[in-house]
């Protein structure tokens, strides 16, 4: 897993949450693909919008568009509204776990004294964790693997920076070079 957490110094206004091994909270379910699509759907969103969106996913009011892992995924009008090809689902377990991570990050931000209303998801990453093995017993004495696919989730919230204001037009016009002023007045170079 890339260590994005080490890239930022401690004086940055950001909150870090690392949800390692999702399987400890979600039992024996193949969620890494669903979690990747859920994380991709909320990246760069404001914290309040992301939480509201995931709560709507849990209530089946909005769908998560499936863009990469979309084989066999049905189409729905809710996914078309999210600018995808129409394929989407409502991954309840993934949405619930990411929503818990967002709430944890929000409480961490309050402890650090950051403005919660100005936070947005600046980085979210889902990686595969080590598969866990079990076995299932089949007919005629055969044994097949019964694997689970947990994942690691990395989440960084940052405060929105103030945009740099543009100078008024009067100051911009007075800074033009002499050659430009001469050409505008009709003189040839």
- Walk along the chain (189 residues) in steps of 10 and give the mean pLDDT of each run: 54 53 35 89 95 97 92 90 88 92 87 87 86 95 92 85 79 62 64
Here the tokens at position 178 are 């002499």
> Are 85 and 63 a contacting pair, CB within 8 Å?
no
Tell me how far apart the alpha carbons of residues 90 and 79 are, in angstroms, rounded to a whole number: 10
pLDDT at res. 128: 84
Q: What three-state secondary structure class fits 64?
A: strand
Q: Nearest-CA neighbor of 123 among 12, 14, 11? A: 14
The predicted model scores a pTM of 0.73
What is the Rg, in whole angstroms, of the alpha carbon atoms belonging to the chain? 24
Length of the chain: 189
């Amino acid at each position: 897993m890339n260590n994005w957490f080490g890239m930022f110094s401690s004086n940055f206004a950001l909150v870090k949450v690392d949800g390692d091994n999702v399987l400890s909270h979600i039992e024996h379910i193949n969620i890494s693909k669903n979690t990747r699509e859920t994380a991709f759907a909320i990246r760069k969103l404001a914290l309040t919008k992301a939480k509201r969106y995931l709560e709507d996913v849990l209530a089946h009011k909005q769908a998560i568009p499936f863009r990469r892992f979309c084989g066999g995924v049905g189409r729905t009008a809710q996914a078309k509204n999210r600018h995808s090809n129409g394929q989407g689902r409502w991954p309840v377990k993934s949405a619930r776990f990411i929503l818990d991570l967002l709430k944890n990050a929000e409480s961490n931000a309050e402890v650090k004294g950051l403005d919660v209303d100005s936070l947005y998801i600046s980085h979210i990453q889902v990686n595969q964790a080590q598969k866990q093995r079990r076995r299932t017993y089949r007919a005629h004495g055969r044994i097949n693997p019964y694997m689970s696919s947990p994942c690691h989730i990395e989440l960084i919230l940052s405060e929105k920076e103030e945009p740099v204001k543009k100078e008024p037009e009067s100051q911009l016009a007075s800074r033009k070079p002499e050659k430009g002023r001469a050409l505008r007045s009709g003189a040839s170079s």
